[in-house]
Amino acid sequence: MSDLIAPGATLGMLGSGQLGRMFAIEARRLGYHVHVFSPERQTPTGQVADVEVCGEYDDLDAVAQFAKNVDVISFEFENVLSETTETASKYAPVRPGANVLHIAQNRIREKSELKQAGIPVTPFAVVRSVEELKAALTELGCPAVLKSASSGYDGKGQVKIDAVEEAETAWKDVGADETVLEAFIDYTCELSVVGVRGLDGEFAWYGPMKNDHANHILDISVFPSGLGDTINQEAVEITRAVFEHLDVVGVMCVEFFLTGDQRLMINEIAPRPHNSGHLTIDGHVTCQFEQQVRAICGLPLGSTLSLGPTAMANLLGDHWEAGPPDWRALRQFPDVKVHLYGKQESRIGRKMGHLTVLAETSEAAVERIRQARAAIFHG
């Protein structure tokens, strides 16, 4: 294990939100130091890191100085500038590699790369003008979804098109020079597999998790998915193929649509821990964040054994709109675990925390987590 970065070393994190926070907590538990770099101060990650460095991602001198003081670097969101990771990688290994980030942060590159590798993705067309959009709508049919090629997440930067006549309005609404038009998939559900791959190629996974969304934002995830061994195994094998094709070292999530005729299509990939994988913190022997630490440091991967059916429910700023949470309501739910991200200000759509619970069945876990969230926020 010549590439081992042993406990006691310093890990660098680009990005300072809740994913970095949960990574830092696990890294500190394993005896590592954590430095975080982002444009903000007193961040969710910065609150639990050893050192919080405030700088812009395009300040390459600051990035270089940050990288010189750590032993390995990872990131917690896709929209870090490629110049940032390229500069950082001159002084410390960046995992997953900058090539993975480069592909994942642009839908054109991502979908084209996977399609060329024979990996199933949603039917799509690259669109760079209104005229190309109209032609693509004729080819793919309506409805369809127009998405900006970069910077979109949680439903941002995308619009559904129901008729060719809506093309010009949709193009203006998305407001991007490069877009992808995707065929509208009549899916039965959305799934995700969170995988992890070590420096030696060892591969482990969680899921598939079954995901329900509200207003394009993940609402509830549950494991097991209840979709049967055939679908589960196929989703894992596709995920493994993506990891090996991109030579990923670290944690990455592959999100799927399951069609009515039981076909799996990749919706998108996220080269980092994922919201749907938060249930692994309490529902599995080793959580996705500990695996991220292990993988980028060259440690053996931990067990992904499930401790039982588990559900996770997001807590959004929306839930605070009716008034402060009634945390005393947790007295009725001693089995429910609360994870809050240290964000001082709530706003619509902002992820403030999550709840998890284990139960006898997936259905019981989902029902329990819904009841707990309703009790906390609605009395």
CATH of residue 239's domain is 3.30.470.20
* CATH number of the CATH domain containing 15: 3.40.50.20
Residue 114 lies in a domain: no
Cβ partners under 8 Å of residue 145, min gap 6: 158, 159, 160, 161, 181, 182, 184
Contact call for residues 94 and 73 (beta carbons, < 8 A): yes
How many domains would you assign to the chain? 3
Residue 129 lies in a domain: yes
Residue 153 has pLDDT above 80, yes or no: no
Residue 143 lies in a domain: yes
178 and 232 share one domain: no
310 and 284 share one domain: yes
Residue 203 lies in a domain: yes
144 and 279 share one domain: no
Q: What amino acid is encoded at 160 in this protein?
A: K
How many other C-beta atoms can be found within 10 angstroms of the C-beta atom of residue 8? 10
Task: Please identify, among 144, 159, 183, the residue that sits at the C-terminal boundary of a domain.
Answer: 183
Residue 240 lies in a domain: yes
Residue 339 φ/ψ, nearest 5 degrees: -125, 115
Using only C-alpha atoms, the chain has a radius of gyration, in whole angstroms, of 21
**Which residue in 211, 313, 354, 348 sits closest to 270, CA to CA?**
211
Residue 366 has pLDDT above 60, yes or no: yes
Contact call for residues 339 and 354 (beta carbons, < 8 A): yes
179 and 192 share one domain: no
Scanning 12-143, the segments in alpha helix (DSSP H) are 18-29, 60-68, 82-88, 98-104, 107-116, 130-140
How far from 134 is each of 14, 165, 170, 177, CA to CA, in Å? 39, 8, 11, 15
> Tens digit of pLDDT for each residue in 283-338?
999 999 999 999 999 999 999 999 999 999 999 999 999 899 999 999 999 999 99
Residue 358 lies in a domain: yes
Work out the burial of residue 189: count CB atoms within 10 Å of its CB; fewer than 13 is exposed, 13-18 middle, 19 or more buried.
Answer: middle
Residue 228 has pLDDT above 70, yes or no: yes
179-183, strands of its sheet edge to edge:
124-127, 179-183, 144-148, 158-161
130 and 61 share one domain: no
208 and 128 share one domain: no
Q: What's the rounded Cα separation, in Å, for the pair 226 and 36? A: 38
**Residue linked to tokens 């139960």:** 359
Percent of the chain with pLDDT over 70: 98
Q: What amino acid is encoded at 177 in this protein?
A: D
pLDDT score for 176? 85
Element (H, E) at 297: helix 288-297
Read off the pLDDT band of 96 (50, 70, 90).
Answer: very high
207 and 179 share one domain: no
219 and 331 share one domain: yes
pTM of structure: 0.94
CA 36 centroid distance within chain: 18
pLDDT score for 1? 42
Residue 369 has pLDDT above 90, yes or no: yes
Mean pLDDT over 176-190 rounds to 91
Work out the burial of residue 70: count CB atoms within 10 Å of its CB; fewer than 13 is exposed, 13-18 middle, 19 or more buried.
Answer: buried
- What is the extent of the structural domain holding 55? 10-94
Instruction: Supply the mean pLDDT for the chain.
Output: 94
Mean pLDDT over 12-32 rounds to 98
Residue that wins the pLDDT comparison between 19 and 156: 19
How many other C-beta atoms can be found within 10 angstroms of the C-beta atom of residue 160? 12
222 and 370 share one domain: yes
* CATH number of the CATH domain containing 152: 3.30.1490.20
282 and 162 share one domain: no
**Residue linked to tokens 């590699």:** 97
Task: Please identify, among 164, 183, 202, the residue that sits at the C-terminal boundary of a domain.
Answer: 183
194 and 246 share one domain: yes
249 and 237 share one domain: yes
Cβ partners under 8 Å of residue 103, min gap 6: 109, 110, 113, 246
Residue 212 lies in a domain: yes
Q: What's the rounded Cα separation, in Å, for the pair 100 and 200? A: 17
Residue 113 lies in a domain: no
Residue 174 has pLDDT above 70, yes or no: yes
Task: Please identify, among 183, 214, 229, the residue that sits at the C-terminal boundary of a domain.
Answer: 183
Residue 154 has pLDDT above 60, yes or no: no
**Which residue in 108, 56, 104, 110 sits closest to 83, CA to CA?**
56
33-38, strands of its sheet edge to edge:
51-54, 33-38, 10-14, 72-75
Mean pLDDT over 72-101 rounds to 92
